[in-house]
């Protein structure tokens, strides 16, 4: 056997996702990519803001000596200071560079946190439906994932979370605005969560994964997690708000008064190094320092959301309109969500079954695509629903 047993199992487990992508590729080859309505990928299609190009040019022109050398594993102090200032403003706290570690995206950041916290068998609570990568990030470092469902409207089910806490619970990961639901947890929900976690016999760290914080609709905002709970960490990136996912630039921000702060920051800095990230990419660190508070034009995503809600509503689908992020998570008209996604594919529409997010009976549609693709999909959504009703 060339590879490890675990990776072999992972490869098999993810084979239906690969099949789905292969089916999508086949449809695109057969009909032409412009004939397919591809809502399967959460890959931001807006260009980075114009300030991005300016920032890169300015940094390259400056040719600062050592600008591409190794720096401290937690990142450049001046970059961490800029990030701390912005997050402090958003969270309503005074923060400094010592509260920030620059990371290789939020994915790198969550792995760093898991590596730092978890002893073998420690439990991490995640909320369904969930970003499937969390289960890998916990497993990578010897942890055990405990899945707790959210409520019917995808808000927090506080009683269920409280019931899931055991003496082995070390952390809980939340994601708001949420992928795949677009839900934002309210200040009251977060306060309730903070109360529950505070009551636990041991320290439980709350990890808030917030890459969609700036992508919100209808005047919704994302409440402060640091205001709700002291033992919390924000792990985020510039992948969505600056449309730079391929550049792998993110950060970990800790509550300035988090328990075991010095030890935790030391461990995370060491984990950033020994997991092979070493440091967040140097040039992109300098770039994001220049772009604090800048975001892509979210009105574009807002317009598409309106359009998509209209298309799905008129076609007769049941869904909770997203408050943020760029996903719809409608109910599948038949129990078998994978089968329904197949019916959509027959209409040249690509989505992802809810089971890919730990919640069968739903499906996810990403609207980081041109408006025209959404409009063009309207007839297909109606036909797929009609086909589903014949099966039911």
How many Å is the Cα radius of gyration of the chain? 21
User: Does residue 281 contact residue 248 with C-beta atoms inside 8 Å?
Assistant: yes
The span of 85-93, 131-139, 335-343, 352-360 binding a second copy (CB under 8 A) equals 131-139
If the CB atoms of residues 245 and 354 are measured against a second copy, the closer one turns out to be 245
Minimum distance of a second copy from residue 119's CB (angstroms):
5
Across-strand partners of 216?
Answer: 324
Q: Check residue 8 for interaction with a second copy (CB under 8 A).
A: yes
Q: Check residue 9 for interaction with a second copy (CB under 8 A).
A: no
Candidate residues 130, 131, 137, 363; the one interacting with a second copy per rule CB under 8 A: 137
If the CB atoms of residues 106 and 341 are measured against a second copy, the closer one turns out to be 106
The span of 56-64, 93-101, 329-337, 352-360 binding a second copy (CB under 8 A) equals 56-64
Peptide bond into 65 cis (omega under 30): no
If the CB atoms of residues 143 and 353 are measured against a second copy, the closer one turns out to be 143
Look up residue 101 and give its two tokens.
């570690």
Q: Which residue has the tokens 């590729």?
A: 25
Q: Check residue 299 for interaction with a second copy (CB under 8 A).
A: no
Question: Total residues contacting a second copy (rule CB under 8 A)?
Answer: 75
Peptide bond into 309 cis (omega under 30): no
The span of 42-50, 161-169, 175-183, 192-200 binding a second copy (CB under 8 A) equals 42-50
CA 326/CA 98 separation, integer angstroms: 32
Candidate residues 27, 38, 44, 190; the one interacting with a second copy per rule CB under 8 A: 44
- Residue 258 makes CB contacts below 8 A (sequence gap 6+) with 205, 230, 231, 232, 233, 264
If the CB atoms of residues 40 and 347 are measured against a second copy, the closer one turns out to be 40
The span of 30-38, 80-88, 270-278, 351-359 binding a second copy (CB under 8 A) equals 270-278
Minimum distance of a second copy from residue 273's CB (angstroms):
8
The span of 26-34, 133-141, 151-159, 181-189 binding a second copy (CB under 8 A) equals 133-141
Q: Check residue 215 for interaction with a second copy (CB under 8 A).
A: no
Helices 282-290 + 77-91 axis angle, to 10: 40
Q: Check residue 136 for interaction with a second copy (CB under 8 A).
A: yes
Q: Which of residues 222-261 bind a second copy (CB under 8 A)?
A: 243-248, 259-261
Binding mask 12-31 for a second copy (x = CB under 8 A): --x-----------------
Minimum distance of a second copy from residue 153's CB (angstroms):
29
DSSP 231: S
The span of 29-37, 87-95, 282-290, 330-338 binding a second copy (CB under 8 A) equals 282-290
Candidate residues 22, 119, 257, 346; the one interacting with a second copy per rule CB under 8 A: 119
If the CB atoms of residues 112 and 126 are measured against a second copy, the closer one turns out to be 112
The span of 38-46, 174-182, 210-218, 327-335 binding a second copy (CB under 8 A) equals 38-46
Look up residue 124 and give its two tokens.
């991490």
CA 134/CA 146 separation, integer angstroms: 11
User: Does residue 123 contact residue 94 with C-beta atoms inside 8 Å?
Assistant: no
Q: Which of residues 317-376 bind a second copy (CB under 8 A)?
A: none
Q: Check residue 274 for interaction with a second copy (CB under 8 A).
A: yes
Minimum distance of a second copy from residue 256's CB (angstroms):
15
Burial of 197 per CB tally in 10 Å (0-12, 13-18, 19+): buried
Candidate residues 30, 35, 43, 89; the one interacting with a second copy per rule CB under 8 A: 43
Q: What is the DSSP string of 272-303?
A: HHHTT--SS-HHHHHHHHHTTT----HHHHHH
DSSP 222: P
352-357 long-range contacts, CB within 8 A, separation 24+: 352/17, 352/20, 352/40, 352/180, 354/129, 354/180, 354/329, 356/17, 356/132, 357/128, 357/129, 357/130, 357/131, 357/132, 357/180, 357/329
């Amino acid at each position: 056997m060339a590879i490890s047993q675990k990776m072999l199992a992972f490869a098999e487990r993810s084979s239906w996702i690969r099949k789905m992508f292969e089916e999508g590729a086949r449809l695109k080859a057969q009909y032409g990519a412009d004939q397919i309505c591809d809502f399967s990928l959460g890959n931001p299609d807006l260009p980075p803001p114009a300030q991005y190009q300016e920032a890169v040019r300015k940094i390259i022109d400056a040719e600062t000596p050592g600008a591409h050398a190794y720096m401290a594993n937690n990142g450049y102090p001046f970059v961490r200071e800029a990030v701390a200032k912005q997050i402090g403003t958003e969270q309503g706290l005074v923060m400094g560079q010592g509260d920030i570690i620059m990371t290789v995206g939020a994915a790198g950041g969550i792995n760093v946190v898991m590596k730092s916290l978890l002893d073998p068998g420690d439990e991490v609570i995640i909320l369904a439906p969930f970003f499937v990568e969390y289960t890998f990030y916990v497993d990578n470092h010897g942890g055990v994932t405990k899945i707790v469902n959210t409520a019917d409207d995808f808000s927090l089910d506080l009683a269920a979370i409280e019931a899931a806490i055991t003496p082995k619970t070390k952390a809980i990961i939340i994601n708001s605005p949420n992928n795949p639901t677009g839900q934002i947890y309210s200040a009251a929900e977060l306060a309730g969560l903070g109360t529950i976690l505070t009551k636990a016999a041991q320290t439980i760290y709350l990890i808030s994964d917030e890459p969609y914080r700036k992508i919100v609709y209808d005047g919704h905002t994302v409440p402060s997690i640091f205001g709700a709970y002291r033992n919390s960490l924000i792990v985020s990136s510039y992948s969505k708000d600056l449309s730079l996912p391929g550049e792998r630039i993110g950060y970990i921000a800790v509550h300035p008064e988090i328990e075991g702060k010095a030890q935790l920051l030391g461990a995370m800095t060491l984990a950033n190094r020994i997991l092979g990230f070493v440091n967040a990419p140097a040039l992109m660190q300098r770039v994001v320092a220049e772009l604090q508070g800048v975001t892509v034009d979210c009105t574009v995503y807002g317009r598409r959301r309106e359009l998509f809600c209209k298309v799905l509503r008129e076609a007769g689908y049941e869904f909770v309109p997203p408050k943020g992020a760029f996903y719809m998570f409608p109910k599948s008209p038949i129990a078998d969500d994978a089968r329904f996604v197949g019916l959509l594919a027959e209409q040249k529409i690509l989505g992802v079954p809810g089971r890919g997010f730990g919640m069968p009976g739903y499906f996810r549609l990403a609207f980081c695509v041109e408006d025209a693709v959404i409009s063009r999909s309207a007839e297909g959504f109606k036909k797929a629903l009609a086909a589903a009703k014949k099966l039911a």
